Every structure is written in structure tokens, then in C-alpha cells.
């Protein structure tokens, strides 16, 4: 269906405003393609986001021109061109502040045993739209725009946008068979946009969940990361679990549904985890914090493996933070996350229970220093994760935990002011250790450094003279001098 959008309607105002801001870049490009005998249209998420009020500077376009022809048309006009996606029919272009991806009409599908799509170029805009993931992304606007806007919406995507509904252009089984990643993309859009999935789409997701196994870890990771950083991650994660997709891409999550939290027997660990995630998000200050969110999601994944029934019907999960950190590291590595993200998330999982030894303030200053030292650059995130981990309905207990953590943060701030806690170092450096002990570089220097650092944490600042005396005594006791 191709409709001329009536002037004065909300849809017309939105599209007109977009094209006013895109002029002259996109207008010129449309004219160049037309002059060379080719079609060009704004397409997919770029059109959808106009109606959602989410437009940015990145635009998707589609054309009947093959990639080599696209290169000919944009050369001499674009400020820069990149061809990293040309094997899939995509040419990237920058013009001023606009970043444009121009993709040849195509139809792609997966061989049942392949992890990569087979790309076949299409011949019409309608055919191209029919192979897109969801009807809300299967709309286009023909370029160049004249006196009126020509919206191409053959699958009623505008109606789905109004209903906040995700529905495939054709049979969902065919769509998910062509590209199984679309099932994860559905969960991602639920998280990002607050949409719901049409019943027939959800049924197909459940029936075809195992098809996701052919998709590469990198593509799965990208979708999961966008999902967890969305505005409604609980809804997206719930869809993953209920459809059976989580069992394959993030199996630690559905396994939590079977375990009862020893502190909150009225909740299972799965519900507790989603609540912790939401409470962590509520503390974010500058947009989504992927490390904090992943740590909140994974913080209790070690519980199923460490669950033990104790006398009196009590359930324990001893050392689940250590086991959980190992499981987190393994899962995120398998999903090809960057090494620094893997390290930070698993470290937060490992540390998330440390505070519970604090009681009502029994920690010594030495213990507080070690807490800060072990958290390192993750200290602020650890504060947020620890506070988020309190999901008890007992108001008195919750208030007591809040007061205890407030007290700990006050002590950290005081010690930081007194001792520059974040920059804790031994009072003697490696060169001084070698000079005092009369030794050269080697493992003994490292052992001496560790001794001095532990002493610094235990006793605070004692001065170089006292540190030298302690070092000499330690060396004598260990047969080094």
C-alpha cells in the first residue's frame, strides 16, 4: 500500500519536519538516484522512529541500485564512504552531520546449518519490505519528496505502531526461519520501545526457539546488550524466558525460577533478580550502565549450583557469589563481550555479598580499606548493586540495611579524605625496597611490596621510618637478610 500523506495530519507534520531537517542532504541524494534511473526510499527504523519521536542523525535507505552502482552515484557527493557491509549490499555514506546506510533491495535467508545469511538482491520496494523483521519496520518513504509525502506501508505498520504491537509482515514462521535473530530482536524491541508481541508471533517464537542456535555469538550478544540497556528490560527478559529463547542464549536466567531465596522465601530467585535489576537501574545517573545492569542480572546465578537443604528446612547458598562470578565470566566470554566488561561484571558478582559481613558497623578501618581496595574502580557500582540487592518486604530490616550501608559509605568518605583511600600504595616503592634490603629486581620485591601494602591497609599511614623498620623485621623473619 502506498499512500499520499494528507497535509495537516500528525503523520504529515512529523514526516515534513524530518525532511525539512534532512534537507539538502537527503533531498539531493534522492534526486541523484532519480537522475541515474534508480529508486531510493527512507526505510525501516528510520521511518518508524519518526512516528515515535526518536529521530537521530543515522538513517537507513534502500534502493534498486546494486552496491557498485550506489558507489558510482555517491562518489563526488558524499563527504566520506565506507564499504564494510558491501558484501551484504550496504554502502555507508556521511554527508554533513547525516550518517546514511544505503542497502540494495534484498531477500536474505539462512541455510538450516549456516550461521551467515545468504543475500539475494530483490527487484522491488514491496519485496524488500516483505522480508523485514516486523511490520513497524516495513514502512518506507519514497525519495525525493515533492509536494506530498509518499508513505509505503503495505503491512499496516502504522496501525501496529499505534497499538504498540510487534507482528511480522508475513507468516512469523517464515520470517524467523529466514533470520532466527529476529526472535531476539522482538525481545529487544519490547525492552526498548515498550511494545508487546502479537500472539501468533509469540507462538512461533516458542516453537522455533532452538533455531537461534545457528546465529553467531556476536549477533546474539549485540541484541542481548541492547535489550538489557533498554527502558523496559524486565519485559524483554520475561519474553526471552517465556518463549524458551533464554534457555538457549542465557540459560542461567530461567534456572533461577526453580530456586527459593533463603532471605525471601515468598519470592523465587528469578523474581528477586528482576527486582534487583530494576532497583539498580533506578540509581543510574547518566543513562544506562551496562556493567551495573549485567551485574544485577547475573549476581545470583550461582545459587542453583550451591543450593543446600539445611536442618529445619532452611535453604543455604554458601559461596554462590564465587561460583556465580565464575559462571558469569564463562557466559559473557562465550557471548564475545569485551574483556573489560567480562572482568568488571564478574568482579561485581564476586563482591556483591561482601557488605553483609559489616553488620551494624563492626568492621575495622582495615576492613573498610580492603573493601575499597578490592572494589577499585567499581566501588560506586558496588554501592549501587549492594543497595539494589535489598528486596525484603520487611520495612524494619530494609531500613536497618539502608542505615548500615549509609554508615559504611560515611566511613569510606572519611577515610578517603584522611588517607586518599582510592590511591592507597605502600609507603615504600619498589626501588626503596631494593635499596633497603640490598637486593635486585625479582619475586622477593613483589612479596615485600605485598607485605607493606597489607600493613598499610591494616595500620594506615605510619611513616617511612616505621615502614622501613617493619620491612627489615619482616625480611629477617623470612630469611631474606
Peptide bond into 144 cis (omega under 30): yes
What CA–CA distances, in Å, run from 217 to 114, 165, 237, 401?
13, 27, 18, 39
pTM, two decimals, is 0.80
As a whole number of angstroms, the distance between CA 153 and CA 144 comes to: 17
- Report the CATH number of the 172-250 domain: 1.10.110.30
CB 217 within 8 A of CB 334: yes
Closest listed residue to residue 237, CA positions, set 200, 175, 281, 285? 281
Q: What is the DSSP letter of 59?
A: E
List 103's β-bridge partners, or say none: 62, 90
Look at residue 264 in the predicted model and tell me its pLDDT. Answer: 45
Q: What is the DSSP letter of 24?
A: T
Q: Can you read off the three cell numbers belonging to residue 454?
A: 597489607
Q: Strand pairing of 196-197 and 117-121?
A: unpaired
How far from each other are the two terminal CA atoms of the chain, in whole angstroms?
Answer: 89
Q: Can you read off the three cell numbers belonging to residue 119?
A: 543475500
- Among left, alpha and beta (phi > 0; psi -120 to 50; other), residue 315 is beta
Look at residue 6 in the predicted model and tell me its pLDDT. Answer: 45
Q: Within 66-138, where are the H helices?
A: 67-74, 125-130
- What one-character-per-residue DSSP string does 367-429 give? HHHHHHHHHGGGHHHHHHHHHHT---S-HHHHHHHHHHHHHHHHHHHHHHHHH-GGG---SS-
Contacts of 125 (CB under 8 A, 6+ apart): 39, 41, 62, 64, 105, 140, 142, 152
Per-residue pLDDT of the chain (481 residues; tens, 9 = 90+): 555 444 445 666 777 776 777 767 888 899 999 999 999 999 998 889 888 887 778 899 999 999 999 999 999 999 999 999 888 899 999 998 899 999 999 865 556 666 566 677 888 999 999 989 999 999 998 888 766 678 899 999 999 999 999 999 999 999 999 899 999 999 999 999 999 999 999 999 999 999 999 999 999 999 999 999 999 999 999 999 999 999 999 999 999 986 554 454 445 899 999 999 999 999 999 899 999 999 999 999 999 888 887 787 777 788 899 999 999 999 999 999 999 999 999 999 999 988 887 776 778 888 888 888 899 899 999 999 999 998 887 888 888 888 888 888 888 888 877 666 556 778 888 889 888 888 888 888 888 888 888 888 778 788 889 999 999 899 888 888 6
CB 169 within 8 A of CB 155: yes
What CA–CA distances, in Å, run from 270 to 53, 227, 254, 265?
34, 17, 7, 12
Determine the topology of domain 2-163 in CATH. Answer: Beta Polymerase; domain 2 (3.30.460)
Look at residue 103 in the predicted model and tell me its pLDDT. Answer: 95
- What one-character-per-residue DSSP string does 299-338 give? TTTTHHHH-EE-GGG-EE-TTHHHHHHHHHHHHHHHTT--
What CA–CA distances, in Å, run from 277 to 246, 289, 447?
17, 11, 40
Domains 2-163 and 172-250 alike in fold: no
What is the dihedral angle through the alpha carbons of 310, 316, 322, 326, rounded to the nearest 10 degrees?
90
What are the residue ranges spanned by the domains of the chain? 2-163, 172-250, 253-423, 430-477
CB 399 within 8 A of CB 433: no
Amino acid at each position: 500500500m502506498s499512500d499520499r500523506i494528507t497535509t495537516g495530519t500528525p503523520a504529515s507534520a512529523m514526516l515534513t519536519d524530518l525532511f525539512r531537517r534532512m534537507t539538502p542532504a537527503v533531498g539531493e541524494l534522492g534526486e541523484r538516484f532519480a537522475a541515474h534511473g534508480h529508486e531510493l526510499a527512507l526505510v525501516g527504523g528510520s521511518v518508524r522512529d519518526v512516528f515515535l519521536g526518536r529521530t537521530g542523525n543515522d538513517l537507513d535507505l534502500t534502493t534498486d541500485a546494486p552496491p557498485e552502482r550506489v558507489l558510482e552515484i555517491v562518489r563526488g557527493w558524499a563527504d566520506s564512504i565506507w564499504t564494510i557491509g558491501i558484501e551484504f549490499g550496504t554502502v555507508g555514506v556521511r554527508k554533513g552531520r547525516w550518517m546514511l546506510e544505503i542497502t540494495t533491495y534484498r531477500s536474505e535467508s539462512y541455510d538450516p546449518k549456516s550461521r551467515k545469511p545468504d543475500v539475494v538482491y530483490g527487484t522491488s520496494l514491496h519485496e524488500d519490505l516483505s522480508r523485514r523483521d516486523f511490520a513497524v519496520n516495513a514502512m518506507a518513504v519514497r525519495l525525493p519528496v515533492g509536494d506530498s509525502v509518499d508513505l509505503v506501508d503495505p503491512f499496516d505498520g502504522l496501525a501496529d505502531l499505534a497499538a504498540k504491537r510487534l507482528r511480522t509482515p508475513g507468516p512469523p514462521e517464515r520470517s524467523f526461519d529466514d533470520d532466527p535473530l529476529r526472535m531476539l530482536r522482538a525481545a529487544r524491541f519490547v525492552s526498548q520501545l515498550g511494545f508487546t508481541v502479537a500472539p501468533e508471533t509469540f507462538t512461533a517464537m516458542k516453537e522455533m526457539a532452538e533455531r537461534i542456535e545457528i546465529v553467531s555469538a556476536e549477533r546474539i550478544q549485540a541484541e542481548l546488550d541492547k535489550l538489557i540497556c533498554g527502558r523496559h528490560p524486565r519485559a524483554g527478559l520475561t519474553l526471552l524466558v517465556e518463549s524458551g529463547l533464554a534457555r538457549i542464549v542465557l540459560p542461567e536466567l530461567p534456572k533461577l525460577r526453580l530456586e527459593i531465596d533463603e532471605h525471601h522465601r515468598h519470592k523465587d530467585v528469578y523474581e528477586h533478580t528482576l527486582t534487583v535489576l530494576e532497583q539498580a537501574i533506578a540509581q543510574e545517573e547518566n543513562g544506562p550502565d551496562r556493567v551495573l545492569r549485567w551485574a544485577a542480572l547475573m549476581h545470583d546465578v550461582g545459587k542453583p549450583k550451591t543450593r543446600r537443604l539445611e536442618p529445619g528446612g532452611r535453604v543455604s547458598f554458601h559461596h554462590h557469589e564465587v561460583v556465580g562470578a565464575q559462571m558469569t565470566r564463562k557466559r559473557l566470554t562465550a557471548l564475545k563481550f569485551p574483556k573489560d566488561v567480562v572482568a568488571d561484571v564478574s568482579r561485581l558478582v564476586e563482591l556483591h555479598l561482601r557488605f553483609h559481613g559489616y553488620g551494624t558497623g563492626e568492621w575495622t578501618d582495615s576492613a573498610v580499606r580492603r573493601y575499597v581496595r578490592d572494589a577499585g574502580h567499581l566501588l560506586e557500582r558496588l554501592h549501587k548493586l549492594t543497595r539494589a540487592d535489598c528486596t525484603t518486604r520487611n520495612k524494619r530490616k530494609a531500613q536497618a540495611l539502608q542505615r548500615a550501608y549509609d554508615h559504611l559509605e560515611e566511613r569510606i568518605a572519611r577515610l578517603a579524605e584522611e588517607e586518599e583511600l582510592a590511591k592507597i600504595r605502600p609507603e615504600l616503592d619498589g626501588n626503596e625496597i631494593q635499596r633497603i634490603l640490598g637486593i635486585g629486581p625479582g619475586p622477593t620485591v613483589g612479596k615485600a611490596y605485598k607485605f607493606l601494602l597489607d600493613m598499610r591497609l591494616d595500620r594506615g599511614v605510619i611513616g617511612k621510618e616505621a615502614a622501613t623498620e617493619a620491612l627489615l623485621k619482616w625480611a629477617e623473619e623470612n630469611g631474606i637478610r
